[in-house]
Amino acid sequence: MMVNRQATETFKTSATELLATPAGKERELLDKYSLETNNIVIDIKIVAIEEEPVPIYEISIANISPTTRVILEKIRQEFVSKMSIEDLQSFEKVDNISLIKKEFRKEIRILINKYFPNTDEKTINMLINYLLEENLGLGKIDILLSDPRLEEIIINNHKEPVWVYHRKFGWLKTNVVIPTEARIRHFATIIGRDIGKEITNLSPLMDAHLMSGDRVNATLMPISTMGNTITIRKFAEDPWTITKFINEGTISYEAAAIIWLAIQNELSVLITGGTGSGKTSTLNAVSNFFPPNQRMISIEDTRELTLPNNLHWVPMETRLANPEGRGGISMLDLLVNSLRMRPDRILVGEVRRKEEAEILLEAMHTGHSVYATLHANNAEETITRLTNPPIDIPKAMIASISIIMVQNRNRRTGKRRTFQIAEVTPTGDARVIMRYDPKKDIIETIAESKYMFDRITLYTGFSRKDIEFDLKQKVTILKWMVRKNITNVDDLGVKFAKYYLGSLQLD
């Protein structure tokens, strides 16, 4: 039986289309590069176009000619016309996805051999992958997901292009457009289906993640009044490291050395900042300083951290309840459980509630080093957030946090910077010792550390001169790592392990 009109609504058009940029307007090329996914070569250009408020992120498929694309569209339409209702119903079942894709590959191969006889195997596989993504995958969105320079991918509705957040250029409009609202909803459905979630008119909001670890939020009309939306925050396959932070100007050598000193001496650090300021990236970067002879437990809503592979690290992730309300595992559940796993250090993706903060502070009081993130724009606001609802922790308990590290993103320039480093006094107040100067674009020391240095002296016997010498040595090592271009998370793990073993040699 052939598929009826309603059943094939989302398959009638290609998954995504490329818009032509306006003709006759002045264009300035800002950047260009290429990448490859599934043997498909993609050319990317970032151009500033006259009267456009933001630059345009243009993608084009380099190894498929316009003529070939026309024939592929004919193959696609012929393929869709052959799909049966049973095919579509099977495709909706998680257990049958790999089987259905395998069967579809066979059908597409027959059609490609019909229209492209004598084609080599590599090209056939490339064309099959292209057609599968356009019909069963996320289309051009998969191309955007393959670009490591992108941090966010945003679909607002079918009437406007897809937006992206680029590490270098900030917010950009793309030349990718989703042709229908039904297609956007279909994307959200298949994303949720892969991990056992669903988005419906009764449940029009969905938090999920792709199998690659990328975080996804989806909403349906009329909750989002202008159209169905999908927001994807990409998981960093090549994670931020401390040397990348220094290279980008996000943190100075001296500020990095202070944080290294605190972490080496097992002092707890709270990383704060506004939305998109890079809190989790900072947590990932400062995790480079962890010694390899201790046990780390990380707890996140969605896996974002990537620690060096030589560390004794157990990553854990929360889980939402199923549609029947069962099987949910909260951050509080994992925090309580982690204390039974004999951790030396605990990392928490984000503290939101009083119970979580209480468990973390209790962990600090019982000798664990804790590293967590929190939404707050400066050190003083961090204390205010901790001591007022919904967290509402007694101020006296906050003294167990040694360092507050505040991150900031300038929304005008897109620059992310370490904004403040503050030590926490015995009374639970924040005392800023380093502060970012936006005019000079540097973080400067505005006060000498007192309480952090006193705590280190208490537990190590180091004099202030010893601590200052150690900080200078750390700056020297960091400069050597930057000069040697050691930016990979695992390579840094090896170097820091050698440092803790006393065998690091600088050349």
Say if residue 214's pLDDT is above 70: yes
Q: What is the pLDDT of residues 323-362, one digit of tens each?
A: 677 888 988 899 999 999 999 999 998 888 888 888 888 8
Nearest-angstrom CA–CA distance, 344 and 347: 10
The confidence score (pLDDT) of residue 328 equals 86
What residue spans define the domains of the chain? 64-136, 242-501
Q: Which tokens sit at 37?
A: 């996914």
Using the structure block, give the residue that is written with the tokens 């897809």: 162
Looking at mean pLDDT, say which of 12-21, 118-127, 267-276 comes out highest.
267-276
Going along 181-238, which residue ranges are E strands?
A: 205-209, 215-219, 229-233
Query: In 3-state terms, what secondary structure has residue 445?
Result: strand
Q: What is the pLDDT of residue 306?
A: 92
Alpha-carbon gap, residue 18 to 173, rounded angstroms: 12
For residue 479, which of 236, 237, 311, 260 has the smallest C-alpha distance? Answer: 260
Report CA-CA distances (Å) from 371 to 131, 290, 298, 311, 447. Answer: 45, 11, 9, 16, 24
Distance of alpha carbon 397 from its chain centroid, rounded? 32
Question: Which tens digit of pLDDT belongs to each residue from 118-156?
Answer: 777 877 777 777 777 766 678 789 889 989 899 999 999
Residue 153 pairs in a beta bridge with 164, 232
Q: For domain 242-501, is the CATH number 3.40.50.300?
A: yes
The pair of three-digit structure tokens given for residue 499, joined into one six-digit string: 């440092």
Query: Cα–Cα distance between 152 and 42 in angstroms, integer?
Result: 19
Share of the chain above pLDDT 90, in %: 57
